[in-house]
Homo-oligomer: A and B are copies of this chain.
Amino acid sequence: MTVLVSPSLQDACAELTSGIEGRKLIVMVASCSVNYTGRTGSKLGEGDRLVVLKKDGCVLVHRGKDYQPVNWQPSGCVIQALIVADSLVVKAVRPSPLESLTITIRGIQFFGTFQLEDEAEFQLHASEEDMQKAILLEPDIVEPGLKVVDFEKKVPPGFVDVYGVDPDGNTVVIEIKKDPAGLPAVKQLSEYLKYLQASSGKKLRAFIVAPGLAKGVQPVLTRRGIEYKQLSLQKCAEVIQKHARSDQQGLGTWLSRG
């Protein structure tokens, strides 16, 4: 780790070059102007910014506000630093599409290089789509013995999330909500039901599958004969990961034997 406060541009240039070489994380707070040419072009006049160079060759130039960088370069760039006149110029070139980002630095408040030890896995929990995926992978989590016949099935008012058959041959229609299901979800499902019917002699069962029910919805479900199955995002994430693991394992074994 190297930390320099108000270094000379020459010192910063030297550290920058060795930091890029050593694939370190480089963080600068500097007064700079920025030019970009490529898919289109941009100019940014002089001002203080946070400049970040990562080990995969991506560049971020952040202003004092906003989530998004004002200028950037995606990973895979060739980065070089050199002193031009009385400025430190950092150039990041992306080969394809050909794009070039040039940061002209006039003064540096802070310069640091860091080594990030980070082996952790990032894990995103389930979204509504993931809930559907989990149900398709393991219909039993809605009801034991359920078989999925179709999903995103088109009916005049829209698309039925999941469409299936229970062990008794009854048709099952599922509406998924990732938030506590409210009246709109019930209405939507009811609309779909108007355009669907069970096989002869069988029932048409409608399910709301959600992590919870909004206040006052339960009586409406009862009145309309709609069933409710509580299903948490956490549970869905588990199911998805379980299947992802077993897929990977299967493929891994198959590959290692081939």
Contacts and interface: CB of A to CB of B under 8 A. Distances in A.
Interface in A29-49: 29, 31, 33, 37, 39-49
A12 interface: no
Contacts of A45: 120-121
A109 B1 contact: yes
A159 to B, nearest CB: 21
A109 B62 CA distance: 21
Given A33-B120, A45-B121, A110 B3 contact: yes
Nearest to A119: B47
Contact of A50 (B33, B43, B52, B97): B52
Interface in A218-241: 233-234, 237-238, 241
Contacts of A124: 40-42
Contacts of A52: 50, 62
A67 B74 contact: yes
A72 B64 contact: no
B70 A75 contact: no
A193 to B, nearest CB: 29
Contacts of A234: 39-40
B70 A65 contact: no
Contact of A1 (B31, B41, B64, B110): B110
A247 interface: no
Interface of A: 1, 3, 5, 25, 27, 29, 31, 33, 37, 39-50, 52, 54-56, 58, 60, 62-67, 70, 72-75, 97, 109-110, 112, 114-127, 178, 233-234, 237-238, 241
29 contacts: A1-B5, A3-B3, A3-B110, A25-B29, A27-B50, A29-B112, A39-B241, A40-B124, A40-B233, A40-B234, A41-B125, A41-B233, A41-B237, A42-B125, A43-B125, A44-B121, A44-B122, A47-B120, A48-B114, A48-B115, A48-B118, A49-B116, A50-B114, A52-B62, A55-B65, A60-B62, A63-B116, A66-B75, A67-B75
